[in-house]
Amino acid sequence: MQGVFFLTAITSIAAVALICIFLFYNGVPAIAEIGFFDFVGGQQWAPTNQPPSYGIFCMIVGSIYVTAGAIIIGVPIGILTAVFLARFCPAPLYKIIKPATELLAGIPSIVYGFFGLMVVVPFIRDTFGGNGSSLLAASVVLGIMILPTIIGVSESAIRAVPEPYYEGSLALGATRERSVFRVMLPASKSGILAGVVLGIGRAIGETMAVILIAGNQVQIPTSLTEGVRTLTANIVLEMGYSTGLHRQALIATGVVLFVFILLITLSMQAIKSRSEKNG
Amino acid sequence: MDKFTIKNMNLYYGKFHALKDVNLSMQENKITAFIGPSGCGKSTLLKSLNRMNDLVEGCKITGDIRLDNEDIYGNMDVNILRKRVGMVFQKANPFPMSVYDNIAYGPRTHGIRKKSELDEIVESSLRDAAIWDELKDRLKKSALGLSGGQQQRLCIARALAVKPEVLLMDEATSALDPISTGKIEELCLKLKDQYTIIMVTHNMQQALRIADYTAFFLLGEMIEYDKTDQIFSNPKEKKTEEYITGRFG
Ligand SMILES: Nc1ncnc2c1ncn2[C@@H]1O[C@H](COP(=O)(O)OP(=O)(O)OP(=O)(O)O)[C@@H](O)[C@H]1O
Ligand SMILES: [Mg+2]
C-alpha cells in the first residue's frame, strides 16, 4: 500500500522534472543561438524579418507592468475584503460574500477575457481614449482575477491571529478598527504576503484573458491606455505558425516565464519559513 | 471612597444565569480580591467592569455598575471606560511587536505622538512594573521572546502606560513561578497607592498576602465580602469557611 502512496507522490515530482527538461532542452539552445543578452535585453521582436530578431525585453516589461497593475488594483481591495470577512462581516452577509469570492475563483479565464472585452475595454476607450485594449484593461481584469487568491489566503491568515491580541488591544481602550488594523493585520502580515505572492504568480501566468484585452503590441507602453504584450501572450499568439528557431525562441520565452515563477515560488518558501521561525 | 459600586447586578449568557443579584463596592486605592471555585463567575464579573463582556454574543446584564458614580453601561464611551479601567489577562498577551511598541501602543491610541513623551511613558511604565532594568536594553526586541513572567509584567506595564485608575487582574500570576509571582505581588502593593486594584485569584495565600478586601463567590452568587483578615480568620458564612479551609472547591 505504501508503494502506491509513494508512486502517487512522485507523480508530481516527475511532472515537474519532465516539464523542466522539456523546457530547458528546447529553450536553452535557442537562447544560446540568439545570444542571452540579445534575447532577454533586445527590444526588437521580428521573427519573420530577414534577418530575424528575437528580443523579448518588451514582453518581459509587459508581463511585469501588467502584474504590477493587477497588484495595485487587487491587493488593497483583496486585503480590505479579507479584513471585512474575517473581523467585521455579519454572519448573514458572510454567507453571501464568501461563496461569491469563491465563485470568482472558479470562473474560467476566457470568461474574464470576454468580460474585459465587452465591458472594460469599451469603458476605457470611451473614458480615456485610445482603442481600449490596453495595459489598464489588463490590469483591471487581472486585478479582479487575483482577488479570490488574495482574499482567501489573507482571510485565513487574519483568522489565525490569536484572539487575545484583539482583546488586549480593546482592553487598552482602542476601537475595534484600530485593534484590527494596528494589531491583527500586522500580526498576519506574512500570511497576507504569501497571498499576494500567490496572486503575483497567478497574474504573471495568466494568458487567455490578457490576450483578449491587452492589445498585444510589442512595445514598452508609455501610458496606461497603450497596449502591451506579455510573455504568455507572445507564446500563444505565435506558437501555431512558428517553425525552427522562431518556435524554439517561443519555448525559450517559456523558460523565462518559468524562471519568474520559480523566483516567486522561492520567495513564497522564504516567507513561509520566516513566519514559522517568528511564529 | 468607593471606586466601583455594583448594585443588583444580574448577568446572563443566553439563558444561563451566570451572576445572581450581586451587590458590591470596591474602594479606591485598595486591593480587592475575588475568590471562589472554578466557574462561579469571578472572571465574568471582572470582565463586566471594563465591558469586555460586550464581545460575548448573547451576554445580557441588568442592574447598575458605577465607576465614580457614573453608570458604565449608560452614556459612557466604552473606549474611555477601558482607558480608565485597565486589564491584565490570565495568560500574558503581549502584542507581536517590540517591547517599546507594546508599551507605546496604548498612549498612541489615545493620541500621544511625540517621541520624547512616548519614551518617557515607556520608561516610567516599565519602571512601575519593576521590569525596566531587565528590559531597558531590549526595547527594540520582540516581546514574544520574553519569558512568561516578563511577558506578564510587560502586560502590566502596558496597562499602566494608558494611566488607568483601576487595574483588573484575572489570575495574572497563575501561570508564573513563585519568584515572578512574588514580584507581581510586590508590584500590586506598590501600585495601590495610585490605582485601585481588583484581582481574581485561586491562591488563598495570595489573597491573604496582598488583598485588603476579599469577596467570596459561589455558583454565581456573592456569598461574603469583607476585610481580608475577617474573611480568612472569622468568616460569617459557613460556605466561606468550608471553602477557605479547603473542604470543597
Ligand atoms: N462566553 C461564555 N458563554 C457562555 N457561558 C460562559 C461564557 N463565559 C463563561 N461562561 C459560564 O459562566 C460561568 C462563569 O464563568 P467564569 O469564567 O466567570 O468563571 P470563573 O469563576 O472565572 O472560573 P475560573 O476560576 O475557572 O476562571 C461558567 O459556568 C461558565 O461556563
Ligand atoms: Mg476565570
Domain locations in chain A as residue ranges: 2-278
How far apart are alpha carbons B224 and B237 in whole angstroms?
A: 7
Q: How close does chain A come to B243, measured CA to CA in Å?
A: 31
Give the pLDDT score at A123. 97
Q: What residue has cell string 514559522? A: A276
Decide: B42 in ligand 1 pocket, CB within 6 A. Answer: yes
Count of the separate structural domains present in chain B: 1
Which residue puts its alpha carbon closest to atom 28 of ligand 1? B39
| Percentage above 90 pLDDT, chain A | 88
A chain contacts of residue B155, beta-carbon cutoff 8 Å: 168
Query: Which of B55, B230, B76, B131 shows the shortest CA–CA distance to B122?
Result: B131
* Ligand 1 atom at shortest distance from the alpha carbon of B47: 18
pLDDT digits (tens, 9 = 90+) for A18-39: 999 999 999 999 999 999 999 9
Cα A185 → chain centroid: 23
B84 lies in some domain: yes
Decide: B43 in ligand 1 pocket, CB within 6 A. Answer: yes
Which residue puts its alpha carbon closest to atom 17 of ligand 1? B43
A chain contacts of residue B162, beta-carbon cutoff 8 Å: 172-173
DSSP chain A: -HHHHHHHHHHHHHHHHHHHHHHHHHHHHHHHHH-HHHHHH---EETTSSS-EE--HHHHHHHHHHHHHHHHHHHHHHHHHHHIIIII--HHHHHHHHHHHHHHHHS-HHHHHHHIIIIIHHHHHHHH-S-S-SHHHHHHHHHHHTHHHHHHHHHHHHHTS-HHHHHHHHHTT--HHHHIIIIIHHHTHHHHHHHHHHHHHHHHH--HHHHHHSB--SS--SSTTS-B--HHHHHHHHHTT--HHHHHHHHHHHHHHHHHHHHHHHHHHHHHHHHHHH-
How far apart are alpha carbons A163 and B209 in whole angstroms?
A: 33
Output the CA A96–ligand 1 centroid distance in Å: 33
| Backbone torsions φ then ψ of B216, nearest 5 degrees | -105, 130
Query: Which of B86, B81, B40, B1 shows the shortest CA–CA distance to B201?
Result: B40
Contact B152, B176 (CB under 8 A): yes
- C-alpha distances (whole Å) from B172 to each of A115, A249, B29, B178 are 58, 68, 19, 13
pLDDT over 60 (residue A278): no
Output the CA B42–ligand 2 centroid distance in Å: 6
The verdict on a CB contact (< 8 Å) between B79 and A175 is yes
Nearest by CB: A183 against B50, B95, B142: B95
How far apart are alpha carbons A270 and A275 in whole angstroms?
A: 9
B71 lies in some domain: yes
Give the pLDDT score at B244. 86
Helix, strand, or coil here: B52? helix
Grid coordinates of A133: 485594449
Decide: B57 in ligand 1 pocket, CB within 6 A. Answer: no
Contact B221, B37 (CB under 8 A): no
Q: Average pLDDT for residues A187-192, to the nearest whole number?
A: 92
pLDDT over 50 (residue A202): yes
- Pocket of ligand 1, candidates B22, B42, B89, B222: which has the most ligand atoms within 8 Å of its Cβ, to mutate? B42
B99 lies in some domain: no
Grid coordinates of A39: 534575447
pLDDT digits (tens, 9 = 90+) for A33-69: 999 999 999 999 999 888 999 999 999 999 999 999 9
How far apart are alpha carbons B196 and B216 in whole angstroms?
A: 19
| Percentage above 70 pLDDT, chain A | 99
pLDDT over 60 (residue A226): yes
Give the pLDDT score at A276. 67
Q: How close does chain B come to A168, measured CA to CA in Å?
A: 7
* Ligand 1 atom at shortest distance from the alpha carbon of B44: 18
Nearest by CB: B162 against A170, A172, A175: A172
Decide: B56 in ligand 1 pocket, CB within 6 A. Answer: yes
pLDDT digits (tens, 9 = 90+) for A113-146: 999 999 999 999 999 988 999 999 999 999 999 9
B215 lies in some domain: yes
B chain contacts of residue A189, beta-carbon cutoff 8 Å: none
Whether domain A2-278 has CATH 1.10.3720.10:
yes
Run means of pLDDT, 10 residues per run, chain B, 249 residues: 93 96 95 94 95 94 94 93 95 96 97 96 93 94 93 95 95 86 90 94 93 95 94 91 76
B61 lies in some domain: yes
Grid coordinates of B86: 485597565
Output the CA B40–ligand 1 centroid distance in Å: 7
- Pocket of ligand 1, candidates B44, B55, B87: which has the most ligand atoms within 8 Å of its Cβ, to mutate? B44
The verdict on a CB contact (< 8 Å) between B155 and A186 is no
Q: How close does chain B come to A71, measured CA to CA in Å?
A: 27
Give the pLDDT score at B249. 45
Q: Which ligand is located closest to the Cα atom of residue B42? A: 1
How far apart are alpha carbons A184 and A118 in whole angstroms?
A: 40
Residues whose CB falls within 8 Å of the CB of residue A43, separated by 6 or more in sequence, listed in order: A55, A57, A58, A220
Q: What is the pTM of this model?
A: 0.89
Q: State the Rg of chain B over Cα.
A: 18
Output the CA B41–ligand 1 centroid distance in Å: 6
The CATH number of the domain where B88 resides is what?
A: 3.40.50.300
Residue among B49, B79, B152 with most chain A CBs within 10 A, to mutate: B79
B58 lies in some domain: yes
The verdict on a CB contact (< 8 Å) between A175 and B55 is no
Q: Which residue of A has its CA nearest to B108?
A: A174
Give the pLDDT score at B184. 87
Give the pLDDT score at A277. 63
Q: What angle do CA A155, A161, A163 make, to 5 degrees?
A: 115
* Ligand 1 atom at shortest distance from the alpha carbon of B217: 21
How far apart are alpha carbons B213 and A12 in whole angstroms?
A: 68
Contacting B residues, span 24-53, partner chain A, CB-CB under 8 Å: 50, 52
